[in-house]
Amino acid sequence: MHTRRQVLRASAFALPFVLPGAARSQTELPLSPQERALHALNRLGYGPRPGDIEAIDKLGAEAWLQQFLAQQMAPSVLPESLVTRLQALSTTQLSQSGLIGRFREATSAGLAARRDVGSITEPQAADLMAKARRELVRPVLLEAASQRLIRALESPAQLEEVLVEFWFNHFNVFSGKGQVAVLVGDYERQAIRPHVLGRFRDMLGASAKHPAMLVYLDNVQSVAAGYKPPAPMAQLNPNAARLAGLNENYARELMELHTLGVEGGYTQRDVTELARMLTGWTINYRAARLGRSGDLFEFDPSRHDHGSKFWLGREVPASGQAEGERALDLLAAHPATAKHIGFKLAQAFVADQPPPALVQRLAERFTATGGDLKAVTQALMSSDEFWRREAFGAKFKTPYQYLVSTLRALDATAIQEVQPLLQVLAQSGMPLYGAQTPDGYKNTASAWMNPEALAQRLQFASKLAERRWQRNAPSDRAGLLTTMGGLWRASTRQSVAGEPANLQTALLLGSPDFMHH
């Protein structure tokens, strides 16, 4: 503990917490080829790993950068060793029916324990319920998290991993809500990952129909007024008792967060009408009970509101599921959606206050290509704003980005247990799959740059460096200086060099240079 106090004290006095991008230069000198290569590693991925700088120097920075950018836009097949590690996560191979079956089994065990309270004590019943969840639900969530972290740490397709994080956050679901705990990994694999360089409309539709989203934002409960579930369905569907009418949660977030944005020009009536159009979009729990393979989304006409609707200034003819499909078509193609997506991408990849001209160009590209996310991402990566010096090292890392980039920089990517890393994220206020509200986690400095968060990062860096020092890894400092190359300022190098050798790794990881990207 004494060592960690030293780190906190040294960091506070030796390394003033300023934005590295602003400190490097007050001029508009263009980035050097090596700086451009480092910027790409840091902003289009989770930072350099040992050997990256050597590869840049060997090939030449500009040639390396062009090769890297081309590879990221057309990621190759994952290394066989990585594929083998991912396939070993057995619960990731379960179907949606199998996943819901796991949750149902855990819930049944818990209910049985409750019924037995007459013969056992309440604490004993609670222990049995907790045990059922630990054995059946927790492994699914842990393996979903393992897959995400292993890919982020080791995949050469780094842009894909950054985009998976971005788009999952955009279409956020919370693992702490009921069945979402077992479905969140499947949601990421099926609704998000395949579409990050595909078409926005496809991702929008995949998220709308995935059981995780249907449960999280309650559309599985939304039915036409007066609907009465048949008795067999009430037994199969755990949400049947709550089918009491229209639920507007998904319709509201679909417009406010997923597409049009808060300033998208819609009204409360539009929310209500869209919710009516989406009644009947639910989960086929009978198929889940029977263990059928494939997706569990179904449209149930008996739940649908077949009345006339007026939405976003237009009459909506009664057409069952087609009403919702048409709504998704219109939302995906709406100019407000293009602007909303352009702003969010520019904010995540360029600056907390993104240049309006860039936002406008991304929106225009989105519209011109029919929501082709590969084309929009290419436009972002080709923009002058992305490569300006003022963008270099100007974004403050989220706790997730900080954790992953730390492990990559130290070449500590061969994780054996994911739970300690998940605890670090939870302690930092960013538990993986743990954003409770539909807007997900912020990626701006104002959300994460505060004394408590900085202290937590320094504590983590100190503990990690101390353990590595005790395992005879005193070369970490030299390795970090090489791995991060020109990302270190001269003042950082000088400040750290004057501190005890056993503190230097932690000080580098706790420096402003490393906390920005």
DSSP state of 265: -
Q: Which residues contact 97 (CB under 8 A, 6 or more apart)?
A: 287, 288, 290, 291, 292, 293, 296
**pLDDT number for residue 27:** 55
DSSP state of 450: S
**Cα 137 to Cα 237: distance, rounded to the nearest angstrom:** 19
β-pairing, 309-311 vs 314-316, is antiparallel
- Residue showing tokens 């309006």: 356
Residue type, 117: V
**pLDDT number for residue 129:** 74
Return the bridge partners of 481, or none. Answer: none
- Residue showing tokens 């906190």: 8
Residue 372 φ/ψ, nearest 5 degrees:
-75, 105
**Cα 232 to Cα 195: distance, rounded to the nearest angstrom:** 37
Which residue, 511, 515, 499, is CA-closest to 15?
511
Contact between 464 and 3 (Cβ < 8 Å): no
**pLDDT number for residue 14:** 42
**pLDDT number for residue 83:** 94
DSSP per-residue codes, 456-484: HHHHHHHHHHHHHHHTT-TTHHHHHHHHH
**pLDDT number for residue 13:** 39
**Cα 69 to Cα 119: distance, rounded to the nearest angstrom:** 65
**pLDDT number for residue 379:** 98
Return the bridge partners of 314, or none. Answer: 311
Contact between 264 and 340 (Cβ < 8 Å): yes
DSSP state of 89: -
Q: Which residues contact 290 (CB under 8 A, 6 or more apart)?
A: 97
Which residue, 298, 147, 190, is CA-closest to 236?
298
**Cα 166 to Cα 46: distance, rounded to the nearest angstrom:** 13
Per-10-residue mean pLDDT of the chain, 517 residues long, equals 51 47 60 96 96 95 96 89 94 97 86 67 74 88 97 96 98 97 98 98 98 98 88 59 84 98 96 98 96 96 96 97 98 98 98 98 98 98 97 97 96 87 96 98 96 92 87 76 88 90 90 95
Instruction: Indicate the Cα dihedral angle 344, 348, 351, 352, nearest 10°.
Output: 70
**Cα 419 to Cα 124: distance, rounded to the nearest angstrom:** 26
How many Cβ atoms from other residues are within 10 Å of residue 69's Cβ? Answer: 17
**Cα 503 to Cα 461: distance, rounded to the nearest angstrom:** 10
Contact between 234 and 218 (Cβ < 8 Å): no
The pTM for the full model equals 0.92
